[in-house]
Amino acid sequence: MKKDEVIEISQEEAIKVVQALPCKTIHCFIDFIGADWDKTNVINLIKSSKRIAWADEMFAHNLAVIANGRLHRFDIQYSPR
């Protein structure tokens, strides 16, 4: 991905990527607070989301999910290109 590039993706694509991860938890930033999320909770958030995108971010939290009026950035370490 190029710096500052944003690529919108579907809920289905995001869920497939999360399900394929070998880990059980995924780190997330909401504002300036970070926490590990269980994969099931990440998938549930994706299902309730309004927008999802791959987005360049300085701490490699590159899966951006907007749900319930908040931006969640997950550390997926995956590049679509």
Residue ranges of domains in the chain: 6-74
Residue 79: what pLDDT? Answer: 44
CA 27 distance to own-chain centroid: 9
Evaluate the CA torsion angle 50, 56, 58, 61 in order and state its sign.
positive
E-only strand ranges, 1-81 = 6-8, 25-30, 33-38, 51-55, 63-67, 70-74
Q: Please name every residue paired with 6 in a beta bridge, in sequence order, or none if there are none.
A: 55
What is the share, in percent, of the chain residues with pLDDT greater than 70? 84
> What pTM was computed for the model?
0.84
Contact 29, 36 (CB under 8 A): no
